Structure 1
């Protein structure tokens, strides 16, 4: 099982990453503002549960690499560290200005269809696959038991907190969306905080032996 320290460290970073302005949460806010709370929540929960696909792929991939060669596993972590540094630099260089467009007149869709859309969009996103393969292993501790089981637990924790945050975003989409539009600079600072976290995690894995 994950240690309390391991879990809290991962959860804190995961919450910050999920809350930072990005395509998924801005789409959840947009759907909620244009179609209503229930629709925003359905789409958001679909997006969040799409993370289960990436959790499975990361668990299988990490386990296969570790079984093949500890050196390959180390190489994955270093490559993941470089990828996180690259993401961090991009986030810090971002000019922010995130806006939510909830004014579009869109055709009505069932909650099931919106949920499926969110699930499908997240599940097939190759950038999210790459992110999970880079991010989850950073919090795996070899001495804490099965690497595969730790990776799976981390993915489930990430999915759970994404469900909570995206559900809340959908429910309060009107108020949050209008507030984001009135305070575009908030997105800039959230990007900078998330970018700093990415760079710190990446450098820690690149330099650690």
Structure 2
């Protein structure tokens, strides 16, 4: 891949990663509830789903999903339902007692954080449609395809990891003081719960 083309890809990747969405909300919530360092597990789960999206599009399956309203809507509503579930669970979650501000509120297992991040990103069919429009701009069919897809995947994943971890996860730390009290935890839980539900509604209703 030519340097100029890669720079364009990197620039587009940065813009995509900074676009707020369910992944960003999930990352910030993980950072607040489990700590900045451990939030990486949710981010890695999101990247695993992103890689699946890229593979699906590269294999041509994404065209079938985008071209089938029924299949597209099944995935779309499943994704929206999962986000609503996450949102309601946060809204109904009872806050813990007052804690040491230097310690995270919970110690959710890394596997659980990874799994949730994976499903949050995977159950978004619009990501498939986006990559269908995005990827051809940076792939030259007359050149070997595998190296190009590898460069694209590594570039997009690394950029998203950096943005999620060092922007959204760090940004969440500014709200860390709220987790020191039961009332603050309740406010944050309900705030992020509402955000998850809002993103779910946008996913389900906006075409």
* TM-score normalized by the length of structure 2: 0.55
**1:9-158 superposed matches below 5 A:** 9-10=19-20, 16-20=25-29, 22=30, 25-28=32-35, 44=37, 47-48=39-40, 51-52=43-44, 54-61=46-53, 63-64=55-56, 65-70=61-66, 71=68, 72-97=71-96, 100=99, 121=110, 125-134=114-123, 137=126, 141=130, 144-146=133-135, 153=156, 156-157=159-160
Aligned pairs, number: 170
Q: Deviations over 1:141-182 (max 9, x none)?
A: 4685239969x8488435533245657889x9xxx57x733x
Alignment correspondent of 1:188:
186
Q: Residues 19 and 53 (structure 1 numbering): CA distance in 2 closer, same or farther, change over 3 Å?
A: closer
Asked whether the 8 Å contact 1:88–1:199 carries over to 2, the reply is yes
SS class of match (1:125): helix
Task: Note the residue ranges of structure 1 that are not aligned, 5 or more in a row.
Answer: 29-40, 105-117
Asked whether the 8 Å contact 1:97–1:185 carries over to 2, the reply is no
Asked whether the 8 Å contact 2:84–2:200 carries over to 1, the reply is yes
Distance 2:76 2:120 in 1: 12
Q: CA RMSD in A?
A: 4.5
Q: Deviations over 1:53-80 (max 9, x none)?
A: 5413333246425144323344322211
Distance 1:85 1:144 in 2: 28
SS class of match (2:117): helix
Alignment correspondent of 1:37:
none
Q: Residues 153 and 129 (structure 1 numbering): CA distance in 2 closer, same or farther, change over 3 Å?
A: same
Q: Deviations over 1:8-45 (max 9, x none)?
A: 5427x65554333x5x64443xxxxxxxxxxxx7xx1x
Q: Deviations over 1:76-103 (max 9, x none)?
A: 2221111111211222222333655689
Aligned-residue offset at 1:202 = 0.9
Alignment correspondent of 2:196:
198
Task: Note the residue ranges of structure 2 that are not aligned, 5 or more in a row.
Answer: 1-8, 137-148
